[in-house]
Amino acid sequence: MYPTPTWVYESVIYQIFPDRFAIGKGKSVHDKARLYTSRGGNILEWNVLPRAKPHAAHVNDFYGGDLWGIVEKIPYLQDLGVNVVYTTPIFLSPSNHKYDTVDYLTVDPQFGGNLAFKRYLSEMKKNGFKIILDGVFNHLSKYHPWFEKALKGDRKHIAKFIFYKDGYRSWNNFSHMPEWNWEEVEVREYLLGVVEHYLRLGIDGWRLDVGFDLGYVNNALIASRVKSVSLEKYVVTETWNFPAGWEMVDGIMNYHFRETVLGYLKGERINVAQALQSAFERTKNIYGCWNILDSHDTPRLATVLPDKELRKLAIVLQFTYPGVPMVYYGTEIGMEGGPDPENRAPMIWDEKLWDNELRDFYKKLISQRRKEIALKIGTFEVLNDEPLVFFRRAPHVLDSIVVAVNKDEYTRVCLSIPDGRLLSGTPFLDLFTGEEFWIVGGMLKIDIPKKGFRILRVTNKVKRGYDQYKRIY
């Protein structure tokens, strides 16, 4: 197990689907139409919602977003407070999602090409952002030159794929996405070379698509190559399972967290305290895992949890549970959307259509997550099952935090805080409301509003010049 890169503890990730975020250089999709229509694509107006088509033909619908557009939206990202940007794939590909790569060393001209990528990397770095790319290394496009040659019987390339008497192995049996044969040395070295190439250009990490299909061995090989460039480079893999057991990488996309939290808040009979505690205790690299509530592969959060107060509770857990919060573009302004492609609608830039109260809520949580030591590296200790209350114990007692989440009616709880360093009479400050609650004899009594929460930080009040924590740490 590699040490988690230090910057990861300070991070809040923002996920962008490039075709749907912003069009740069003052252009519209019509100005760029030839980039799409010449390759069999259809262009759509920005305010037209995506809709599923028979045979997944919607993957050929394009809105015109590009890397130039992301660069121009840096002020928006800075104002929101995120500091890491993860983009879905950007390499040459026939589809709008680009999970079917034709050339790993060419950024798709639809996104501005290699020139736009160079500018994107430079400007994001200049403004203090970390950059994570999406690596699709399990499979490729059937239009990749090597696969086309293999189909024609070129013996030099046949071994790079898995052929049967009546076809070839493809991801999830989608024939347009043949799988790489990672056991072939030339394939392995080629793909690991791609991994290293972009790290040396300056990206900070990789997200590995369908990491569960790559398997343990290939995840480990990729991680080894990543860490050979620098231990401060980051690799996260996509798995849809209990998070433990993937210690060969820095973390996973924690869909277990998503299913647990959303199921609990939707009223399913989930012991959320036990599930979250078990995942924390069993997952050695939990601090490097991504706390996800939605993504390009799931319905949007506002669609799954239309009750805004319950949605806020999910977001509180996303930012206070160990791991790295990942915000899917537009979720912070209340964008809705069902399954793919509805969840991949163009970003709304008309501020009159934003849920600004929700966006401000995100901004405050992002600020706290980046500021509070306990939320970055603190332990996770359940204090009460229902309502859920947990303790994020920090190395220094005065940095510790108690979090309470109540999905039901108003309630009061009396909590035993298992930290002998906390002295009687110490106030806990609610970081959202400014209210104070006092611990006496190790017991903390708090009230929690209906469908409400508390984020309580230990504070030290020096009284008439006397500091009771003068010899306590």
Handedness of CA 431, 432, 438, 441 (dihedral sign): negative
DSSP letter at 110 equals: G
**Distance, CA of 89 to CA of 169 (rounded, Å):** 22
- Do the Cβ atoms of 309 and 302 come closer than 8 Å? no
Cα 350 to Cα 352: distance, rounded to the nearest angstrom = 5
End-to-end CA distance of the chain: 30
Residue with tokens 């040659």: 149
Give the sheet arrangement for strand 401-406, strand by strand.
Answer: 381-384, 388-392, 401-406, 452-458, 426-430, 436-440, 443-448, 411-416
Please indicate whether residue 238 is annotated as part of the active site.
yes
Distance CA 293, CA 258 (A): 5
Round to whole Å and give the CA distance between 189 and 195: 10
Annotated catalytic residue within 100, 209, 250, 399: 209
- Taking residue 183's Cβ as centre, other Cβ atoms within 10 Å add up to 11
- Taking the C-alpha atoms of residue 472 and residue 356, their distance in angstroms, rounded to an integer, is 42
In contact, 272 and 264? CB cutoff 8 Å: yes
Task: Record the tokens describing residue 388, joined without a space.
Answer: 């859920």
Residue in 238, 250, 294, 399 annotated catalytic:
238
Q: Which two tokens stand for residue 404?
A: 């309470």
Q: Which of 265, 287, 201, 235 is nearest to 9 (CA)?
A: 287
Chain mean position to CA 50:
23
Q: What are phi and psi of 112, to 5 degrees?
A: 105, -5
For 320, the enclosing helix (H) or strand (E) is helix 308-320
Quick check: 17 and 60 in contact, CB under 8 A?
Answer: no
Angle at 130 between CA 129 and CA 135, to 5 degrees: 140
Coil/strand/helix, residue 76: helix
CA distance 439 to 429: 11
Give me the active site residues, please: 209, 238
